Amino acid sequence: MNHIENKVVIITGASSGIGEATAYKLAEAGAKLVLGARREEKLKAIADSINGKGGAAVYRVTDVVNPSDSKALVQLALDSFGKVDAIFLNAGLMPNSPFAALETDNWNAMVDVNIKGVLNGIAAVLPTFIAQKSGHVLATSSVAGLKAYPGAGVYCGTKWAVKAIMESLRMESAQAGTNIRTATIYPAAVQSELVDHITDSATSGSYRKLYDTYEIPAERVASVVAFALNQPDDTNISEFTIGPTTQPW
């Protein structure tokens, strides 16, 4: 049974990688998409492609660091489609480096996007989900949210935070009887633009080699998102770890 058809799903970080692949996957299943990211040209191209094939997609330039942007994205969903069923908090940064490199600007950027961006999305959608006593919050963490890696301490910290935030949200929602489900996804080497933003040269080289060796298409994660969204209302699958069969992550 298709539980995705006609669901209104918001996706952040929707202009590339996992977010883009998920938009296409859910559109094929009949979902109505609300896409947010910082690059308007890419968002427009994705929305145009979905709409051109008979789907339904709208977009808004969104910086998840700004709470007002997340609120506006939720409002766009309500204005365009009359409801919100799910939000996929997928925007993220991974400019890794050793602590000794003191790339403090990158530390702060990761905290702002990877943690505060998730919290801003939750804050924006929660009043609607609580009022309707249903909703699904999905978020992209990382295998770095399950274990620690040298050279990735801050990134790991932000992704561990996502794990804790999402699990607490699930438990609180169950206790309150608001029926809000959560799904946290922990990808290993999956095709994305994450590696492109690593400025530390030694770290960049090692990650590029890792991803070139192992990475699997972003569509693999999109399929997991679709699987989570396709569960009946009484069933919550809260965590998914996904990566290449050949990668010893």
The residues assigned a catalytic role are 155
Answer whether 92's CB lies under 8 Å from 113's CB. Answer: yes
Give how far Cα 222 sits from Cα of 30, 54, 58, 105, Å: 14, 20, 19, 31
Answer whether 121's CB lies under 8 Å from 64's CB. Answer: yes
Answer whether 90's CB lies under 8 Å from 22's CB. Answer: yes
Phi, psi of 114 (to 5 degrees): -75, -30
Sheet with 135-140: list strands edge to edge: 56-61, 32-37, 8-12, 86-89, 135-140, 180-187, 239-242
